[in-house]
Amino acid sequence: MQGISVDGAPRKIGFVALLSFALLLLFLNPIISISSSGSSQFSFSPAINLSNDKGSASFPNVQAIGSNVYVTWSEGSGGILFRASNNYGATWSATRKISLNTGPASKQVLMSVNGSNVYVSWPQQVGSSGLQIFESTITDYGSGPFTTTQLTHGDFGFTVPVIASWGNDIVVAYGNGSNTQTASVVWYTTSTNAGVTWSAPSNVGFKCASGCWIPEPQAYMRGNYVYVVGDYGFAESNNSGASWHSISVPALDNAGREPWIWGSGPNVYVAWFSAPTDNNNEIYYIHSNNNGATWSSVSVLSTSLPNTINPMLWAYGNTSWIAVVQNPGASDGKIWVYTSTNAGSTWSSPVLLSGSGQVSYPWTVASSDGQNVFVGYSQKTSFGWIVRVGYSTNGGASWGAAPSANASGNANGKAGQAQDQADTAIASSGTHCYAVWQYLSPSGTSQIYFSSS
């Protein structure tokens, strides 16, 4: 089974959408449906409040394999909370706290799922040392015992962790906790026994010497092959992270922003956007069809879409998808998706999913079977932000009519409004799509909501 890593990971720092819910389900109306050649009567169930407490819940993540669905989120001083469902989200286990009582838990809570194990990683305050990185392994499809481990120690702290897994092998990559340090470095630690023990943290091998952003790594893992990409470089390992070698991509190393990585079989894809001074950003990509032994030259994907940023990608077999946002933050923003059916050699023309209007970044592309494909994003309406999900039933050959299906159904407030943070996510299992989001009600309370198709 293919490992699932950083699905629905946060887009990045600065993409903030504080969503919540203190009002009851009367604010949530039945979800609209869309119908076209690519999406037949696609609709979502009424949303349910998964956090449902007095805490301020934020930064949810969702993962799924088969009928098993998992959701985790942060409640700050209340810690990292977790719930599981074994029947496609119909009913849920009691909420469990999986973090240690060392200090307030922070944002960017991510999961990776393999077999019966769920792996969760997040940053958390520890004394005066700043944010440190933690990992928790939850057994028995989310219902068994869990083990939580502090992975890092250091005076400067660490942040923006990502997690990837394959069976019992796990890699967690993360960055320095402050970009005021003299160098921004991407670190990693690995476990080969489902999180029982961990290697000493090591430098992946790329860094920015000065004037840097906080490095924001992404990771993908398949078998012994592990890949970590960040704003300042790209490295891979063919021995489960025991050793690494850098991949030279000058267009990424020197000027790339917000890279994303995913793969399927021997095919691996990396996409990012440039940051030129004229604000006319473009999407770039490279791919490998032999587990990273060789890589294609850098290509520009968004030749027909000026000012396009923040690619999000997914792959299944020889098919892959890249979703992007055009004119971010503007009233004429748009979400588009590209499809490749030949392992990244060529790509389709972009398909518009959102219609026009202010939209978030695309925050997840998901497909468990290569045919049913989902793209999640948020869109501003006259009454607030709503969560939308684009859907294709034929591997991206066609998509439901724009704008995409409304997954949140809220008639007010902010559901999934995003300015570069992990406040929404989707996962899929066949025709089932699962959406979670942080809902900010008009009264200012924040809760985590869930709906499914």
User: Residue 198 in 3-state DSSP?
Assistant: coil
Nearest to 191 by CA among 205, 204, 217, 173: 173
Per-residue pLDDT of the chain (453 residues), as tens digits, is: 333 333 333 333 332 222 222 222 222 322 223 333 344 468 999 999 999 998 889 999 999 999 999 999 999 999 999 999 999 999 999 999 999 988 888 778 999 999 999 999 999 999 888 899 999 999 999 999 999 999 999 877 888 899 999 999 999 999 876 555 556 788 899 999 999 999 999 888 777 766 666 778 999 999 999 999 988 889 999 999 989 999 989 888 777 888 999 999 999 999 999 866 556 789 999 999 999 999 999 999 999 998 999 999 999 999 999 999 999 889 999 999 999 999 999 999 999 999 889 999 998 999 999 999 999 999 998 888 999 999 999 999 999 999 999 999 999 989 987 554 557 999 999 999 999 999 988 888 899 999 999
CATH fit for domain 25-452, picks 1.10.357.10, 3.40.50.300, 2.130.10.120, 3.10.20.310? 2.130.10.120
* Residue keyed to tokens 């070698």: 245
pLDDT computed for residue 183 by the predictor? 62
pLDDT computed for residue 199 by the predictor? 95
pLDDT computed for residue 418 by the predictor? 56
Of how many residues is the chain composed?
453
Cβ atoms within 10 Å of 293's Cβ, excluding its own = 11
Reading the block at residue 238, the tokens are 């063919």
Residue 27 DSSP label: G
Residue 111 and residue 165: Cα distance in Å, rounded? 9
User: What element of type H or E holds 149?
Assistant: strand 146-150
Per-domain residue ranges of the chain: 25-452
pLDDT computed for residue 203 by the predictor? 85
What are the residues whose beta carbons fall under 8 Å from the beta carbon of 86, sequence distance 6 or more?
A: 67, 68, 141, 142, 143
